Chain A
């Protein structure tokens, strides 16, 4: 599947296109098919996102998983600061990245 990600313009937070708006959780990502680039332009013009780009992802038992490690780290947070990542109570979260 193709998903759309970028950073929130104001906060800089990593965000994922969820079909009807943006989410902080990669698991909420919607398949944008071939509409990603158009969506990115529209959302950037609306000042809701900066640096938006389309990536490949797959759906696994654990939810949506970006294809590339860089985007998995963006989705989770720094692997060396589990207290700051999006699954602070999951000791195994870092392995999801690898």
Chain B
């Protein structure tokens, strides 16, 4: 894992001191709310429905046990005993007091964490593949590049006031586990003639105008990635619309001027950048890369897993993924208990996972954009012990990528922007499909719920997506089918008129019944939908 150098630590510490002063000035009236709001947002502090909310950055979703433990301690000490893992691999606290915010940031800084650039029109937390570094099919660990981009984008003076927020994802596998093409810029590391570089995609995103990012470059050599992104951002910063926030994202610019014109301008800017010699030193990437070298894996480990306990065997089959190192496995921890809140974890659960990471996973864990957790380096011989501890803590649900592994934004239960509640609906769907055999029979089925058009719940990318809307003060839910955030990225299509909360659960049951009746061998729900099209599903729903 990356560790701060003295420069990293000093700028984070300085930011804490600066924010402490800003909060003090707000509390004494020296700053009005209009003056203070942009300052608190730059430190991840929102004013939400019930209280202040603090969004903590988890760079590319990677945490040490010590960092995770600190997140749990803060939840217990300053919040109401829990936190919410988000679809951008971050963590949100829902019940923060303004006067406590500087102390929380100071505590985060002691474990090399912060909340900088988790809000505002700047480059946000760089997201990545939760299997980075442990997946056998990647061309390289994407995290050194994600870290390089984190350093490049942190406090970047030119990109602190972009037309709108800017999200970047970096992956290095053909399997896209990070919804890469639904980001403002997506990078896919590839190898060309033995040289590492990146395919670059620009202009993707969800929100009110969802778009799949087109490829704008098929290869940028690794040493030029930062300069190329600088060129991409410069063109966006110059021409992105600032007159209308709903048209200010890069996807609108790329769409309005066209991919070819955007590419042309980026290439011109890139040619200019090259003359400036702004590529980061190769030594710096090497320095960063050294932090992500393979940990000290043991060799000669057994591949055997004792599957005598059927509940454990079920969990292994669903939650455990292949690791590149013999004798090791990747453990996915579900934060989707059937009656729980997607992405929520109590302080005690956070502490437990921190301990498991330290004891069993070489002191490392990951947060996924699907609001689950991952122990990336687990010896197969330790799986049963881990499962038992997870089971005791209510964290052993075996539902990865099944219909109850629902992504849901906080919705109207917490969010000031939301129009409808996402969480109660997620719970109703999970209970309707609670039967484990039924879930397994349905197979991979990614269901995603957003409580408003901003699409934090990624509904556009759901095999089944649900968008909550406000219909004259009453919650209403639009259903969409056919989205995907994976390597076969697509946007869901709305089925038709919306539903009540109970009505949309019934509609989902009709859709899944049709899938089971019509699927061909080996087809996932998404495959059957793509083969049949919307019409039969619409008929099943609306009659």
- What residues make up the interface of A, taking CB atoms closer than 8 Å to B? 7, 9-14, 44-45, 47, 50-51, 67-70, 73-74, 77-81, 84
Contact B33 A44 (CB under 8 A): yes
B47 at the binding interface (Cβ < 8 Å) = yes
The CA-CA distance from A47 to B27 in the complex, in Å, is 7
**Given A78-B50, A80-B424, A51:B473 Cβ within 8 A:** no
The interface residues of chain B, by DSSP majority, are classed as mixed
Closest Cβ–Cβ distance, residue B100 to chain A (whole Å): 9
How many residues of B are counted as interface, with CB atoms below 8 angstroms from the partner's CB atoms?
Answer: 29
Task: List 28 interface pairs A-B (beta carbons < 8 Å), by A numbering.
Answer: A7-B47, A9-B27, A11-B98, A12-B52, A12-B95, A12-B96, A12-B97, A14-B50, A47-B28, A47-B29, A67-B473, A69-B412, A70-B49, A70-B412, A73-B49, A73-B412, A73-B413, A73-B421, A74-B49, A77-B50, A78-B50, A78-B413, A78-B414, A79-B424, A80-B413, A80-B421, A80-B427, A81-B341
Top 8 A-B residue pairs of the complex, sorted by shortest distance between their CB atoms: A12-B51, A12-B52, A78-B413, A80-B423, A11-B97, A80-B413, A47-B29, A50-B33
| Chain A CB within 8 A of B474 CB | yes
Q: Would you call B51 and A7 a contact (CB within 8 A)?
A: yes
Q: Is B80 an interface residue (CB 8 A)?
A: yes
Q: Which residues of A contact B421 (CB under 8 A)?
A: 73, 79-80
- Is the C-beta of B99 less than 8 angstroms from some C-beta in chain A? yes
In angstroms, Cα B47 to Cα A95, docked, is 26
Q: How far is the CB of A97 from chain B (nearest CB, A)?
A: 9
Q: Which residues of B contact A67 (CB under 8 A)?
A: 473
Determine the chain B residues whose CB is within 8 A of the CB of A78 once the complex forms: 50, 413-414, 423
**In the assembled complex, which residues on chain A have CB atoms less than 8 Å from the CB atom of B50?**
12-14, 74, 77-78
Task: Assess whether A84 is in contact with B80, with CB atoms less than 8 Å apart.
Answer: yes
Contacts of B49 in A (CB 8 A): 14, 70, 73-74
Which residues of B are in contact with A by a Cβ distance under 8 Å? 26-29, 33, 47, 49-52, 80, 95-99, 341, 412-414, 418, 421, 423-424, 427, 470, 473-475
Least CB distance, A19 to chain B, in whole angstroms:
23
| A10 contact from B47, B80, B99, Cβ within 8 A | B99
Q: Residue on A with the closest CB to B27?
A: A10
Residues from chain B with a CB closer than 8 A to the CB of A70 are 49, 412, 418
Beta-carbon contact of B341 and A50 below 8 Å: no
Distance of A35 from chain B, by nearest CB (Å): 21
Known: A50-B33, A74-B50, A79-B424. A12 touches B98 (CB 8 A): yes
Give chain A nearest CB distance to B376 CB in angstroms: 30
Q: Is the beta-carbon distance between B27 and A50 smaller than 8 angstroms?
A: no
A80 to chain B, nearest CB (A): 5
Residues of B within 8 A of A69 (CB): 412, 470, 473-475
15 new A-B contacts at CB < 8 Å, known A7-B51, A50-B47, A70-B418: A7-B47, A10-B98, A11-B97, A12-B97, A12-B98, A13-B51, A47-B28, A47-B29, A51-B33, A69-B475, A74-B49, A78-B50, A79-B424, A81-B341, A81-B413
Among B47, B80, B427, B475: residue with most chain A CB under 10 A:
B47
B449: min CB distance to chain A, Å:
13
Q: CA–CA, A9 to B418, complex, Å?
A: 22
State in angstroms the CA–CA spacing of A34 and B423 once bound together. 36
Residues of A within 8 A of B47 (CB): 7, 12, 50-51
- Bound CA–CA A47/B473 (angstroms): 31
Closest chain A residue to B422, Cβ basis: A80
B418 neighbours in A (Cβ, 8 Å) = 70
Alpha-carbon gap, A7 to B421, bound state (A): 21
Name the one of A11, A44, A73, A81 contacting B51, with C-beta atoms under 8 angstroms: A11
Quote the shortest CB–CB distance from B101 to chain A (angstroms).
10
Given contacts A11-B97, A12-B51, contact A68 B473 (CB under 8 A): yes
CA distance A77 to B50 in the complex (A): 7
Instruction: Report A12 CB to chain B, min CB distance, Å.
Output: 4
Residues of chain A within 8 A (CB-CB) of B341 are 80-81
Taking CB atoms, residues of chain A closer than 8 Å to B80 are 84
Point out the residues of chain A lying under 8 angstroms from B29, CB to CB.
45, 47
Nearest to B99 among chain A residues (CB) is A10
Q: How far, in whole Å, are A12 and B23 apart by their CA atoms in the complex?
A: 13
Cα(A37)–Cα(B129), bound, Å: 49
A14, A74, A80: residue with the most chain B Cβ atoms closer than 10 Å = A80
Interface centre among A10, A12, A50 (most CB of B within 10 A): A12
For B427, the chain A residues whose CB sits under 8 A away are 80
Chain B residues near A51: list those with CB within 8 A.
33, 47
- Distance to closest chain A CB from B282 (angstroms): 47
| Distance of A95 from chain B, by nearest CB (Å) | 12
A79 B473 Cβ-Cβ under 8 A: no
Shortest beta-carbon distance, A6 to chain B, in Å?
A: 10
Report Cα–Cα, A73/B99, bound state, in Å.
25
What is the distance, in angstroms, from B235's C-beta to the closest C-beta of chain A? 36
Query: Which residues of A sit under 8 angstroms from B424, Cβ to Cβ?
Result: 79-80
